Each structure stands twice: as structure tokens, then as C-alpha cells.
Amino acid sequence: MPTILALDEGTTGTTALVIGPDGAVLGRGYREIPQHFPAPGHVEHDPEILFHATVAAARDALAEAGVMPDGIGITNQRETLVAWDRETLAPFGRAIVWQDRRTAARCEELRREGHAADIRARTGLLIDPYFSATKLELLLHQPPIAAAARAGRLAVGTVESWLVAKLSGGAHVTDRTNASRTLLANLATGDWDPHLLELFGVPADVLPRVVPSAGVVATARAEWFGTELPIAGLAGDQQAALFGQGAVEPGSAKITFGTGAFLLRFTGHEPPPIPHNGILATAAASADGGDGWALEGSTFIAGAAVQWLRDGLGLLASAGESAALAASVDSTDGVTFVPAFTGLGAPYWNPEARGTIVGLTRGTGRAHLVRATLEAIGHGTADLLEAMGGATELRVDGGAAANDWLMQFQADLLGIPVIRPAAVELTAYGAARLAAIGLGGQLPPAAELGAMTRFLPLRDADWRRDARDAWRRAIHAAEAWTAA
């Protein structure tokens, strides 16, 4: 069984894990990623920082592990777009992050022109600034990037594509799960859709080759980690977490709490019928790392709201304080917080909504705001699960899954068990499992890594109804911004 270096390049930080043959974490590294906000609704990353932070985190993990892995698995923040010179590997400016809303007007124009139904049928997605296509369309109108495209030197891709190019010295690939999030790939075939390329004015030769999620696609040069290493697994972060959980049976579901919160339900080995309620259809990896599909719903802000309390308002010294503060009061005292900093995701898909706090009184204190923030994460999950038709249980992972108070609130709000595996960094673990398969081996699913923690609901249906009603009133207030 192989040992894998798993690289998880996220929105606010990069985690690297060295995973041993039994699934144990042998070494860990982490680096924070700064975000840039050049204008309201604009969110950017420096691609070079993304890469060098990933390398630094990986070197820390390797030093702690004291072993050299057999290969690399990469998982990444999805939809974020990077453009670079395919000869020099120099980026053309900053990456446009998935949270960025600058193309909202263009998306509205596409809807008015009548493209929504066709794009939905081809991709399983909705027209929204969240996805990569309108970002790329915008970049291609910038003179330096347009000139590079005409000269055959432009390469564009999502973050895993950028990392592979830098690690290998130029390989230009993306896996089918990341391709399925661009609004440019056909959901059924998994490859770029010629009609959509024409619609968005994207030359096919600037895009990466679409490859399976498991399999050797390139080799990382020895200069980065001391020896050449095959890159054998690629997946977008949410599909990686789904695979890491072992959710590869139709109907199995998980939610990952990271910067945002993402609920995926595996549907099987054929493309699912296109949903009609704001839920997306997307590519996933099946049990052998091959083709699978899933339904997905996402809220754009989850852990990022707690980070805002810490960094923006100074209400927390660390995110870990939030559980104790939330438990220190019996309720939010009527305060509800909708953290729609970058609009509302599923099932609302309102890019113009903005963060809203309702119910403030003179007696509102720090603990009430912290509790309202954690409750907002739980309500976002409930929105997604209701839109998917509910579930009998929910598996959780990601940073906020370690918050016992939040997980208990989540179980109470949903009225079903919430199950947390012993390992909650399952995004990186999913990439490691895919890479192991790509090298001809296996790593155990999360359920075999240790005892699972079950949070059982303690509240009754009346409490849940009242809580959800208050949340819906606050959502209406956040959406009122659109009409202003």
C-alpha cells in the first residue's frame, strides 16, 4: 500500500498531509493564504503565493513524517481561475476566486438572452459568477491575455491545474470533477463542450486536457521535494471529501464545512436528471476512482463567517473560542445573522444579497453574535438538505466539524443524526485515496480510521419549526438588498 503526500489548496489556507498505508497521518503542514479585495464583490489570490504556500506546507509535512511518499494527490478550491504563460509559467496577474461576483451583470445578461435552460442541461449548473466561464470570458478581453492567446502561449485552469503545471514544469491537465465546475464542460461526456466554448469565446487550446481523477498525470520535479514524485490523484475539494468519506453508494451524502459549506449526495455511475430547485449536478469519483456523479448544494460562507468574527470584528482570539462562547448564552436573544458576504448560494442563487444581522437590541453582546454565526452555518446546511429532499443521517467533515456545539445544533436543527468520523480533514484524505488508486493501491475509507462520533437530535419539531421560520425571515431581509 502506498504512502501519499496529499495537498489541499483551499481558499484561506493550504494543508499538506503525509498519509501512511494504514490511513494514519504521519506528517502535517499548513500555510495561510491571504485574500485580496480590490473592490466590493471582488476576491483575488496571488497564484505564486498559492503555489509557494503549498510547497512550504508540503515540506513541513514531509519533514515531520520523516518518510518519502510514493506519490502526490491534489485537491483544491474549485472554480477559482488562474491564467499563465505556458512557456515561462508566469501568471497573468491574480487569480479570480470562486467567491468573486464581478461578473454578476454578465450572468444576468446571459439569462435575459435565454441561455439558462441550455446551459443547465449541458452542465448541470446554473448561470452564476461562482463558476469559471464568465471569469475566463472577462480575462480574455484583457489585452495582454488576449495577445498571449493569439500567440499560443496562454494557459488557463483551476487551481489544481496551476499547481500541476508549476510542480511538473508545464503539464496542462485538469480532472473531470474540476472541469465540471467551470460551466464549460458537458456533464454527460466530462469534456469541454464546443457550443459553450463558442458562447463564452474561449479558444479550446487555452484549456487543459481533462483526465480521470485517479491515475498518474504528471511528475513533480525533484527540486520541490527532493525527488521526483508522480502526481496520481486530482479532485475538486468537495468531490475529494465525498470520496474520502467513502460515500460512493447512491444516496450517500456528506457536508464539508470549510470557507463555505458544501453538501454532496452521490447518485451513481450515470449522469442524474437535472434538478429544478437550485441544486446542482456535478461529476464525482466512484469507488474505483472512475466516473461517478453527484448532486450538490453549497453555501458560500461558513467557516469564513467565524474568521470574520476573529479578523474583521476582533470578537474572537481564535476560531476555537466560538463553541464556548455560543454555549455561554441560552439563545441568540432574537438575533439572526445571514452571512451573505458574497451573495447567497443554493438554493437561493442571489448574487446581490448581502450579509444581514436582524434582531439586535441594546442587550445584544459578543456571545449572542458568535452564537448567531454558528447557527447560521447550521441553517445553511438545513437549506441544502431540504432542497435535496432530506436524509436519514448526515456525515460531516472539515474544520467546523470539530466544533461539538455546532454539530449538536446541526443535529437538533435537522432532526437526524450527524456523524463525524475520527478524521475530519477528509478533503486531503480523499485526494490521498484517489492517488493511492492511481498508483495501483488502496487506502481505507474514513469509517475505518477510528470511532465515529454521533450527534443525536435533542430538540422537538416545534423548536425546529420556530428556528427555521426565524431564519427564513432573516433571508428575506438579506434579499431585500437586491431591491434597494
Residue 198 pLDDT class (50, 70, 90 cuts): very high
Q: What is the mean pLDDT of residues 166-176?
A: 97
| Non-local CB neighbours of 113 within 8 Å, separated by 6+ positions | none
Q: How far is CA 325 from CA 32, 97, 200, 353, 405, in A?
A: 25, 31, 48, 28, 10
What is the total residue count of the chain? 484
Q: Exposure of 384 by Cβ count < 10 A (0-12 exposed, 13-18 middle, 19+ buried)? A: buried
Question: Which conformational region is residue 152 in: left (phi greater than 0), alpha (psi within -120 to 50 degrees), or beta?
Answer: left
Phi, psi (deg, nearest 5) at residue 452: -90, 140
Q: How far is CA 3 from CA 22, 223, 432, 474, in A?
A: 9, 20, 9, 48
Pairing of strands 229-236, 214-220: antiparallel
**C-alpha cell, 126:** 446554473
Is it the case that residue 483 has pLDDT exceeding 70?
no
The answer to whether 278 touches 126, Cβ cutoff 8 Å, is: yes
| Non-local CB neighbours of 180 within 8 Å, separated by 6+ positions | 123, 124, 187, 190, 282, 283
d(CA 221, CA 227): 7
The answer to whether 266 touches 242, Cβ cutoff 8 Å, is: yes
On average, the pLDDT of the chain sits at 92
The reported pLDDT for the residue numbered 387 is: 87
Closest by Cα among 407, 426, 404 to 416: 407
Residues facing 326 on adjacent strands? none
Is it the case that residue 190 has pLDDT exceeding 90?
yes
Q: What is the mean pLDDT of residues 308-313?
A: 94
d(CA 87, CA 354): 41
DSSP result, 79-140: S-BEEEETTT--BSSPEEPTT--TTHHHHHHHHHTT-HHHHHHHHS----TTSSHHHHHHHT
**What tens digit of pLDDT does each residue of 274-300 get?**
887 788 999 999 888 889 999 999 888
Residue 395, SS3 per DSSP: strand
**What tens digit of pLDDT does each residue of 109-144 get?**
999 999 999 999 999 999 989 899 999 999 999 999
d(CA 482, CA 484): 6
| Non-local CB neighbours of 251 within 8 Å, separated by 6+ positions | 265, 266, 267
d(CA 239, CA 237): 6
* CATH 3.30.420.40 domain position(s) in the chain: 4-239, 247-420+452-484
Q: What is the mean pLDDT of residues 261-280?
A: 87
The answer to whether 476 touches 465, Cβ cutoff 8 Å, is: no
**Number of helical H runs and strand E runs in the chain:** 16, 21
User: What's domain 247-420+452-484's architecture?
Assistant: 2-Layer Sandwich (3.30)
Closest by Cα among 305, 292, 304 to 239: 292
The answer to whether 436 touches 18, Cβ cutoff 8 Å, is: no
DSSP state of 341: B
Residue 482 pLDDT class (50, 70, 90 cuts): low
Q: Does domain 4-239 have CATH number 3.30.420.40?
A: yes
Closest by Cα among 123, 26, 108 to 67: 26
Verify cis geometry, omega within 30 degrees of 0, for the bond prior to 347: yes
> 395-419 in b/e burial notation, b at 16+ Cβ within 10 A?
bbbbbbbbbeebbbbbbbbbebebb
The answer to whether 468 touches 382, Cβ cutoff 8 Å, is: yes
The reported pLDDT for the residue numbered 424 is: 62
Full-model pTM: 0.83
Is it the case that residue 484 has pLDDT exceeding 70?
no
The reported pLDDT for the residue numbered 81 is: 97
Highest mean pLDDT among 78-82, 266-270, 441-445: 78-82
Q: What is the mean pLDDT of residues 184-205?
A: 96
